[in-house]
Structure 1
Amino acid sequence: MEDKQDISRQKRKSRWVMPDTYVILFLVLLVAYIATYIIPSGSFERENVDGVEKVIPDTYQSTDGNSLGFLDFFNAIQTGMVESADIIFLILFTGGMFEIIERSGALKGVINQAVRLTRGNEFWLIASVSTIFALIGAVGAVANAVIAFVMVGVIIARALKLDPIVAAAITFGSNFVGFSVGFLNPYTVGIAQDIAGLPIFSGLLFRIIIFILMLSLTIAYIWRYAKKIIENPELSIVGTYEATNETDSLNAPFTKRHQLILIFVALCLSFFVYGSIQLEWTINHMSAFFVFIALGSGIIAGMHFNTLAETFLHGAKNLIYGALVVGLARSVIVILEEAMIIDTIVYALSVPLENLIPVFSAIGMFISNSLLNFLVNSGSGQAMIAMPLLTPLADMIGVTRQVAVQSYQFGDGLTNLIFPTSGILMASLAVAKVPYTKWLKWVFPLFLVWLVIAIIALIIGVLIQWGPM
């Protein structure tokens, strides 16, 4: 009888699973709708400075807000999707572009080339692969798709007789070094700067310096652990791999055509950075440019025109989940704006931060975004929720908008290393076969190092009045 009760209890426990991101965002939307009946309406006066609308501090006043009906709740979802159309299509087109590049074999080819060139020197092998994944994370290339590349880390770790933690660290872990800084990431920094009224990818130099520091310390941390295992396999937290003939898969070719594709993509992205800074290109220009890169890469790869179209659509389809998250997240702001309570929320947030020096206010922004990431771990989705709040808040408390963007970026990126609500983390660990508790034990000291670097960077950003640059 007791055994049956235990089984019944276990079944009840196993039924609970972490809610999907869409479920969480829908609940957030519902809370926002209910809040419109509780939070009073109000607004700040605003002024236009150099084409950018800014909040004027100490001008908050209560106003008569709009009363939202039942259908307004569901209309907000449609409105959120429409208002986010430029970002949604940016994400879909980016997925199509990188699917063509990945299908051409160029991405895998350059990784395999790096492995071959450093074979026999474990440090440079780990450092080179970690750097590649960090760079593609910094440009937002495979933030979600990194799950598929964790197997590359597994193959490398097997070749070196290392363990699954190293496999996850040099792929997923390194990828999120770049993602957390995101100096050329259109999904996070690009969207956040667009909302904040900043030039796209401005502040590039300071972010690159932060990236180099974080990457260097991360590689050192991974190598310290890997070296211990090489010298004594029993020090592995999860047990080492045995070498297998899977290492033969590293002999995939890296052809002249692959090189041409990567050179073409690099030149195009470099020109886009120039265009966004000098020609004031927007997210719409970026979407158009990504279609151009996709077509060019497919042509260089020798794809048939039907194959090119199918591949592009397949890549776009893979990112529909992440793209529509943006629209649903935007619907939360639509509700708050229509009820005219968003300025009231900003005012309430500013009251405790107003009495703090700007340095601590920036850290407070970072902490609040880190907590938000536990619930909304979509980078672009979180940008749509957080930045409309952080932008006027930054104006009021004397923090530059560039610092506000990076506070959001750190908050969104760093905690993906430890929060179990991150689907990318849990899926990557599943591919590498690393238990979450073992990963947390290994990665937490590294996370603390990242945390310190992030706080120092924000402090410096406040002190130097970090602007567009």
Structure 2
Amino acid sequence: MFSKTTPGEAGAARVKKKLPMPDVFIILFSFMILVLLASYIIPAGTYDRSTANGLTQVATDSFRYIDAEPLNVMDLFTAIHNGLVAASTLIFLILIVGGVLKVIESTGAISAGIYRLLSLAKGRQNVLIFIFCATFATLASVGVGANLAIAFIPIGLFLARSMKLDPIVGVAIIFLGSYAGFGAGVFDPTVTVTGQTIAELPLFSGFMFRGAIFVVFLAITAAYICRYAKRIKQDPALSVMGAEVFESATNDNRPDTETTFTLTHKLVLALFALSIGFFLFGAFNIDWGIPQLSATFIMLGVATAAIGRISPNAFIKRLMSGAGEVMYGALVIGVAAAVIVLLKQAQLIDTLVHSVATSLDGHGKIVAMELLYLFNLVFNGLITSGTGQAAIVMPIMVPIGDMLEVTRQSTFITFKLGDAVTNIITPLSGTLMACLAIARISYVEWFKFALPLLAMWVVAGGVFVAIAVGINYGPF
């Protein structure tokens, strides 16, 4: 009457029950609870700050502990609302981009364009992977924010699908390519300029050393993606998303040999390129930001509907469909921002920075800077804004470097590498979560894929920090 279960089968059943990982919302809410508990244990503290030439600077010898009310349960849940409000600009950008790209996708222009690109490359997938990685790495290294990668994720997905690869590859060639370049920040007019200004260095000085970082990080990233792509091409079951993802994508507008690259397709893609160029011109010359990027995409969507002869009602329906597909990731961005809201409300950020700064006493130059690099890796997991992190951390790191008789340039590169690496894996990164939402990749799947690459980046960054300290990386 009762079926027998062997000990091995029972063990397997228990393992299966343990496999499901908590949803990213659960992970983020757990972070929020930790901050709530920390507010009762860790004393609040603050540095004095001043503003000079538009930059907020910290007075390094001004730290003091202050009286602050610990967080309560109402603060915990109010932070979710406040986080959504704080991240609203990026949230609305994601919804708009997702909707407009759905309209563009419905014209068939992206699939036809990708097939044309594949035809020109004659199936050499490694060449295509490297070209995409190098392109976005170059853009990010000269200041085209990695946030812009969000707009190109659907193109990466179509490219991956057309090569019979999983969505992980589609996101990786865009997102990881961007952060490989961002890590070097060769001529980045935001984070590099902010950090070097605080360190009182000539702007963009030391670019040859950062150029070497660019080459190494790009090479590691492209090789890692190519190796993964080759492996899953040979055996789809090796995909971190499982073999099922290939089956579900077979009828998902994948380009084939019958795809015709029509005049409409060419016009839509040309309009897309012109729109991105139009925004970049405004970003570099008129200080445009995310609101103008959202407006550019809305205009792009309307123009695409006109070219593709899409009726107004059909346009709205496709727009809402695309926005719905990225809604999950958009809300994740807001909850991630809620963690930062709580840290600021409890006034714990300055306390954490101060405790690390004082713990480095008594170490040699290289060891101390490596510890500072590791601290910045962790800190970047919480404060993912490069300029925001520069404003908080660089004024603390500069006097530490001076006391260790380390050049200012070495201190800056320690900050820059620490600022970049963990962006590819922290769930508090709005850009990462938005890209995963568009691709419908779970955070757990991405974590499994990106963790080995993260380890390589961390090691490579540590080597460059040691070299910079060892050669007295100049000019100061």
What TM-score does the superposition give when structure 1 sets the normalisation length?
0.69
User: Is residue 363 from structure 1 mapped to residue 363 from structure 2 by the alignment?
Assistant: no
The aligned residue for residue 13 of structure 2 is 11
The aligned residue for residue 52 of structure 2 is 49
Q: How does 1:37-436 map to 2 (within 5 A)?
A: 37-119=40-122, 122-123=123-124, 125-128=125-128, 130-132=130-132, 135=135, 139-141=148-150, 149=158, 153=160, 156=163, 171-181=170-180, 214-215=217-218, 249-352=256-359, 360=370, 363-365=373-375, 367-368=377-378, 372=381, 383=384, 391-398=391-398, 404=415, 407-413=418-424
Over 3 Å counting, the alpha-carbon distance change for 1:316 and 1:57 in structure 2 is: same
- My pick for the range that moved more, 44-53 or 218-227, is 218-227
CA distance in 2, matches of 1:13, 1:223: 32
The aligned residue for residue 30 of structure 1 is 33
CA contact (8 A) 2:153 2:439 kept: no
CA contact (8 A) 2:329 2:434 kept: no
CA contact (8 A) 1:174 1:215 kept: no
The aligned residue for residue 161 of structure 1 is none
Over 3 Å counting, the alpha-carbon distance change for 1:60 and 1:237 in structure 2 is: closer
Offset at residue 255 of structure 1 (A): 1.8
CA distance in 1, matches of 2:107, 2:162: 20
CA contact (8 A) 1:25 1:328 kept: yes
Residues paired across the two proteins, number:
417
Over 3 Å counting, the alpha-carbon distance change for 1:91 and 1:332 in structure 2 is: same
Q: 5+ unaligned residues in a row in structure 2: which ranges?
A: 138-145, 198-202, 240-245, 399-407
Over 3 Å counting, the alpha-carbon distance change for 1:353 and 1:22 in structure 2 is: farther
CA distance in 1, matches of 2:168, 2:73: 47
Offset at residue 403 of structure 1 (A): 7.3
CA distance in 2, matches of 1:34, 1:114: 53
- For 1:320, the aligned partner's letter is M
Over 3 Å counting, the alpha-carbon distance change for 1:81 and 1:222 in structure 2 is: closer
CA deviation vs aligned residue, 1:344-393 (integer Å, no higher than 9, x gap) = 122223334586669636632564268x5xxxxxxxx9737x97566402
CA distance in 2, matches of 1:453, 1:14: 36
- My pick for the range that moved more, 81-90 or 5-14, is 5-14
Over 3 Å counting, the alpha-carbon distance change for 1:134 and 1:338 in structure 2 is: same
Over 3 Å counting, the alpha-carbon distance change for 1:146 and 1:362 in structure 2 is: farther
CA distance in 2, matches of 1:190, 1:85: 25
CA distance in 2, matches of 1:22, 1:226: 29
- My pick for the range that moved more, 89-98 or 399-408, is 399-408
Over 3 Å counting, the alpha-carbon distance change for 1:367 and 1:56 in structure 2 is: same
Over 3 Å counting, the alpha-carbon distance change for 1:154 and 1:314 in structure 2 is: closer
CA contact (8 A) 1:362 1:458 kept: no
What TM-score does the superposition give when structure 2 sets the normalisation length?
0.68
- For 1:47, the aligned partner's letter is S
Over 3 Å counting, the alpha-carbon distance change for 1:220 and 1:320 in structure 2 is: closer
- Percent identity, aligned pairs only, is 25
CA contact (8 A) 1:33 1:73 kept: yes
CA deviation vs aligned residue, 1:244-293 (integer Å, no higher than 9, x gap) = x9998243122222222222222221222222222122222222222222
CA distance in 2, matches of 1:324, 1:191: 27
CA distance in 2, matches of 1:102, 1:322: 20
